[in-house]
Homo-oligomer: A and B are copies of this chain.
Amino acid sequence: MKAAVIGYAQTKFKEHWDKGLRELISEAGNNALKSSNLKAEDIDNLICANTLAPLVNGQSNVNALCFEELGIKSSVSINCGDVSGSAAIRQAMFEICSGKSKIVMVLGVEKMTDLLSSQITSAVSMLLDHEWEVFNGATLASMYAMLTRIYMKKFKVKPEQIAKVSVKNHKNAVNNKFAQFPFEINVDSVIKGPSVDSPLKVLNCAAVCDGAAAIILCEESLAKKYTEKPVYLIGSGAGSDYLALHDREDFLEMKATKTAAEEAYKQAKIKPSDVSLAEVHDSFSISEILAVEDLGFAKKGSGFKFIEDGKTDLTGKLPINPSGGLKACGHPFAATGIRQAIEITMQLKDEAGKRQIKNAKIGLTHNLSGTGSTAIVNIFSR
């Protein structure tokens, strides 16, 4: 049995000064119901993805807020760092394929901007190894800066080449009304921008923001009842790795991504070359480059060139992050995996407007937590 996507909605990703968790949940959840002409009582279960509310908003049990706003009678919460949204979709797939639930909503939400910058830096560093990395002063950005530096040295890559990732993603976001930064940037603006942690510049990093995204899945036999063009979740894989970078076998190979991808490809019965487009985890530019390699799209050490050569552009042979990615869409942690799934759904349904990719048949989402301790890969088809 397969699960099918029959409805979706998201809020704009930005600093929502006028909205809290409740309002974001209400907007994404109720619009997702409307998009498939469903009512709350039609949904068997809701899986809520959230990772920062206990730290930022003093609120756990965010699934109960969903009950308040949407009225769906049963729900659970998943907190798995940045991959929470993709992990929730994977759990919904299991639930539907078990035959025990027919229709499941997956909703990811974060309200991250209620803290000072120093506080949110501290909050997101819990994604690293607290005892061995954070204790010594590491932050998420400092660890990714180190990975970037190692990659640049090993494969002789210049900052200008790394900058191409953000330039492409911002260009794609121009036509995405839900993106936090829907405008173009150039290599110069990346390179000459403020430094975060050398060699990382501000424009190499995805930004903190608020937002919610929801999709509705059902078993494949019911899908055509709710939508003319269902999109099917044909494969899903999860992978784990050490939390601390110093424990990893190879700094520049995300073992979690490889494990997750292997399982997802196997389940979907496809090869990397069958993928028409992908939404990958570009929380920092280097993570998109490593993802392109570890997902099997380019050889190790050539991911930057694959992107630089335009192969991942909207008109390239394998468009990556047509939505704008985490960089230009913004990265409200647990909402990101679901936003990625929405982009793939829109592309496979020919609903992506000015950023529509021609003949998109198979789309992949790739999501990491922290510096890659957990990865989820979900594969969708028309």
Known A63-B240, A76-B91: A55·B55 in contact at CB below 8 Å: yes
Residue of B nearest to A60 (CB): B126
Which of A29-37, A157-165, A199-207, A366-374 is near enough to bind chain B?
Answer: A366-374
- Nearest Cβ on chain B to A85's Cβ, whole angstroms: 12
A79 touches B78 (CB 8 A): yes
B131 touches A74 (CB 8 A): no
A134 touches B97 (CB 8 A): no
- Nearest Cβ on chain B to A184's Cβ, whole angstroms: 34
Q: Which of A41-78 contact B (CB under 8 A)?
A: 45-46, 51, 54-55, 57-61, 63-68, 72-78
A373 touches B67 (CB 8 A): yes
Residues of B within 8 A of A81 (CB): 60-61, 77
- The CB with the most chain B CB atoms within 10 A, among A80, A125, A237, A259, is that of A80
A281 within 8 A of B: no
C-alpha gap A91/B90 in the complex (Å): 10
A63 touches B76 (CB 8 A): no
A93 within 8 A of B: yes
Q: How large is the interface on A (under 10, 10 to 19, 20 to 34, 35 or more residues)?
A: 35 or more
B76 touches A61 (CB 8 A): no
Residue of B nearest to A376 (CB): B76
C-alpha gap A347/B243 in the complex (Å): 37
Q: Which of A83-118 contact B (CB under 8 A)?
A: 83, 87, 90-91, 93-101
C-alpha gap A87/B79 in the complex (Å): 12
A residues neighboring B (CB under 8 Å): 1, 20, 22, 45-46, 51, 54-55, 57-61, 63-68, 72-81, 83, 87, 90-91, 93-101, 125-127, 129-131, 134, 236-243, 247, 259-260, 263, 267, 369-370, 373-374, 376
Residues of B within 8 A of A54 (CB): 51, 54-55, 79, 126
A64 touches B241 (CB 8 A): yes
- Nearest Cβ on chain B to A119's Cβ, whole angstroms: 13
- Nearest Cβ on chain B to A208's Cβ, whole angstroms: 15
Residues of B within 8 A of A97 (CB): 94, 97-100
- The CB with the most chain B CB atoms within 10 A, among A94, A97, A239, is that of A94
Residues of B within 8 A of A247 (CB): 68
Residues of B within 8 A of A134 (CB): 58
Select one of B64, B91, B263 contacting A91, CB under 8 A: B91
For the complex with contacts A63-B374, A77-B80, A77-B81, 14 further pairs of A-B residues with Cβ separation under 8 Å are: A22-B131, A51-B54, A60-B81, A60-B127, A60-B369, A61-B370, A64-B242, A67-B240, A74-B238, A74-B240, A76-B376, A78-B78, A78-B79, A100-B267
